[in-house]
Amino acid sequence: MKMNYHLNIKMFIFPFSKNKNMEQIVDFPDPADYQYPEELKLPDGTILMGRTYAESGIIMNRKKWKLYITYERIDKDPDNPRPIVRSTQNGIIYRMPPDSITQSIAGYIKENPGCTPEEVMGFILAWVQSEGVDLSNEDRMFGWASYVYDAISLLAIYGLIRIEK
């Protein structure tokens, strides 16, 4: 009996490559442990967070720029600590970090379309203070503010919010 070793590769590859349910989920970076470059830039080259405040567009324009959500939630579990969202800008599916600050920023922008970075900052800082965080120390306040601006910048860079300049 002669064995036929020729296999139809399509038979093995096609079913998997055409499976629409096998979309890749990318982990959205957690701002707390993200390896930040010297500058955070939008794809159009706009510097959001630079080396100094003067070079940081998100800070210098915090009262002017408007923020809008550009994602849709895919998972329907409101208790999921890491929601799954799809960017309507680039189509990429992200698993959000288990970071309540980033998720609260996105939630605030969703509930208040056209809000400014300054309004988001005020909301987040009031919230963390209500949770018992003492922001009377300048260094601690600066740390929280930097974290919020970094998180807003990452949301914009990854296509989950749009900044209208």
pTM of the model: 0.84
User: Which pLDDT tens digit goes with each residue over 33-53?
Assistant: 988 899 999 999 999 999 998
Q: How many domains does the chain have?
A: 1
Whether the predicted pLDDT of 96 surpasses 90: yes
User: Mean per-residue pLDDT for 42-71?
Assistant: 96
User: Which pLDDT tens digit goes with each residue over 106-141?
Assistant: 999 999 999 999 999 999 999 999 999 999 999 999
122 belongs to a structural domain: yes
Whether the predicted pLDDT of 152 surpasses 60: yes
Domain limits for position 126: 59-165
Cα–Cα distance, 154 to 42 (Å, whole number): 9
Q: How many CA atoms lie within 13 A of 15 on its CB side?
A: 4
Here the tokens at position 39 are: 């500058």
8 belongs to a structural domain: no
